[in-house]
Amino acid sequence: MAFDLMVGTGFRVKDRPSIVGAIELDELPEFSRLLKRSDSFFLHRISNLFDDQQFSLAEVDQALGDLLPLLTQAMPDAERALLHKLIAVLAFAQRQQLPLFGVAD
């Protein structure tokens, strides 16, 4: 099971969103450690992998503002890889000027 991260006008097939990432179950330990590092609303909202989420462009900008400072912190490689993935997904949504969706798979 994964939590798919999609960018587009909607998350349904007819909306043709781009799947730009996923949070896999084996990444949950790293995800939990990131959540301890930052009180990010974005991390809190996607921490429940069973609830679909939608993030506006303003929320994408806010999430990037919360996560980018974590790049300067020392952390294990697996945790850093997850951080990079989340930042890349958010940056893609920001660049495309489209909402981000988290969809339970």
Per-residue pLDDT tens over the stretch 17-65: 889 999 998 999 999 999 999 989 999 998 887 889 999 999 999 999 9
Q: Where does the chain show beta strands of DSSP type E? A: 2-7, 18-24, 53-55, 100-104
- Locate 101 and state its tokens: 């969706």
Any idea how long the chain is?
105
Residue type, 76: P
What integer pLDDT is reported at residue 13 of this predicted model? Answer: 67
**3-state helix vs strand vs coil in the chain, percent to 5:** 55, 20, 25
What integer pLDDT is reported at residue 1 of this predicted model? Answer: 58
Q: Report the range out of 3-17, 28-42, 67-81 with the highest average pLDDT.
A: 67-81
What does the pLDDT average to over 65-71?
96
Sequence-ordered alpha helix ranges (H) in 38-96: 41-46, 57-67, 77-96
